[in-house]
Chain A
């Protein structure tokens, strides 16, 4: 019996070759990048590298103070971006209709904000937080500027998570005459929690990878900070500085980059896991 499916051997073959080649190219870039970092930087990696402070502008010692600074900047950012992002997402989903002027305007502003280059956020953060509000080069100024940058991502992911809560649960809430606050607290937010958590982890990934913003706001200081108003060098800035300003710093930059990439891969794995749980 002849197959009913019509086959085009040449066109199908070309399509198969092209898609396989492009996929191989994408995977090749990732593998090349990782392999390069491992070959250059894996030699210095050890537990001691993570737990000892840097010496001689990062050419010696480890990256403990840099990791602490990164963690503090990240914490300031998340402390601001989680409540603000969540509140804005709930405003868009619960308070206004998507077609209303407020809904449209807020959505448009978020889209613009997500397209703004990080160097523009850096200049804005430097002017507003470091100069006008007098925070100077500090962990707080860096964290707040990163929060502005991560905000659209957090809002949009949380908004999608809340919109995915089944409509029949919301309808059941209306039929039982439950308050909006009660429904949010007990039903909508718990149902959307995996999606919201994915938004938080994506924001962490975006924040960890950022350099330009922190050069302008958090500064370069390598030692452990005395307070959040002290300048503190984040991991991405440390890599930049070692690679560009410290003679012979390339291998050390690769070691730090390897740590950063490992952190980003971990956050991405967390996102995949959370989104999978959310869909299930």
Chain B
């Protein structure tokens, strides 16, 4: 009955439709970005270890940059946090990842709900072969938001949020693939933000972009800090220095990735005593 009344109210008060339509996406979402605590995380593919003994903590609303050479398990670590690791055949994950009070890796975890709370942006921009607006509308519809005004409101709001609205407002029905690489990546971020996540996973979001598009995305990430707990994999140490509150250094040890050190930006870049961290940050290794 409550559900029916809610729908009737929404229908009877059209001027409130945008807010009412966005409401279902907020269910179960607390306003504060939760902390992430990863302890003793280990990942293996077909029995071959890819990451071991990974422990780190990201305070709520802060940005943690995960740096390290290729093959050190950075992306594997990221993919465990939204359980994308479940979709890889032969991938085995052990350890604990706590988001707020919930252990993400527990077998009873509602993965669908988890992936709505944990948004992800990939290395290569990967907009769907739909129109610009439909790239945002389609995931929202899939998550139960059908109201036309609410969807339009969300498209505009999220495109504004990523600084794309002014560039695309007159061609929302054109294919998303007609956008430039940087614009596509911002659209992918808008599509992710539209689901109102609490945690953002950014897997080298600028590595496929030119310097100007990279600057746009970096400015955007700066603006998002505080509203979301962010984990960002990057190969670019200068970018980690510019953006991160905290830094985790990963390395390859005997063919398997591991976390060498994790701490505040200054703790890693200025005061670290760990020889690998020092060598990597000075550019003499990696």
Measured CB to CB, the residues of A under 8 A from B are: 97, 166, 168-169, 171-172, 174-179, 182, 186-187, 190-191
Measured CB to CB, the residues of B under 8 A from A are: 82, 84, 87, 89, 111-116, 119-120, 122, 124, 126, 128-130, 134, 138-139, 141-143, 188, 191-192, 195
Q: Nearest-CB distance from B118 to chain A (Å)?
A: 8
Quick one: which of A97, A166, A182, A191 contacts B138, CB cutoff 8 A?
Answer: A182
Task: Specify which chain A residues have a CB less than 8 angstroms from the CB of B115 in the assembled complex.
Answer: 174-177
Q: Nearest-CB distance from B281 to chain A (Å)?
A: 31
How many contacting A-B pairs (Cβ < 8 A)?
59
Asked whether, in the complex, the Cβ of B87 is within 8 Å of the Cβ of A171, the reply is yes
Quick one: which of B124, B129, B142 contacts A182, CB cutoff 8 A?
Answer: B142
Q: Known contacts A175-B119, A175-B120, A177-B112; is A169 also within 8 Å of B142 by CB?
A: no
Task: Specify which chain A residues have a CB less than 8 angstroms from the CB of B113 in the assembled complex.
Answer: 177
Quick one: which of A175, A179, A187 contacts B84, CB cutoff 8 A?
Answer: A175
- Given A175-B120, A186-B138, output 5 extra A-B contacts at Cβ < 8 Å: A172-B126, A175-B84, A178-B142, A182-B142, A190-B129
Q: Nearest-CB distance from A179 to chain B (Å)?
A: 6
Asked whether, in the complex, the Cβ of B142 is within 8 Å of the Cβ of A174, the reply is no
Asked whether, in the complex, the Cβ of A186 is within 8 Å of the Cβ of B89, the reply is no
Q: Nearest-CB distance from A239 to chain B (Å)?
A: 43
Bound Cα distance from A182 to B141, whole angstroms: 10
Asked whether, in the complex, the Cβ of B139 is within 8 Å of the Cβ of A176, the reply is yes
Bound Cα distance from A179 to B143, whole angstroms: 9
Asked whether, in the complex, the Cβ of A178 is within 8 Å of the Cβ of B139, the reply is yes
Task: Specify which chain B residues have a CB less than 8 angstroms from the CB of A174 in the assembled complex.
Answer: 84, 87, 115
Bound Cα distance from A172 to B114, whole angstroms: 15
Q: Nearest-CB distance from A172 to chain B (Å)?
A: 5
Bound Cα distance from A166 to B123, whole angstroms: 14
Asked whether, in the complex, the Cβ of B129 is within 8 Å of the Cβ of A191, the reply is yes
Could you list 17 examples of A-B contacts with CB < 8 Å? A166-B126, A168-B124, A172-B128, A174-B84, A175-B82, A175-B115, A175-B120, A176-B192, A176-B195, A177-B142, A179-B142, A182-B142, A186-B130, A186-B134, A187-B128, A190-B130, A191-B129
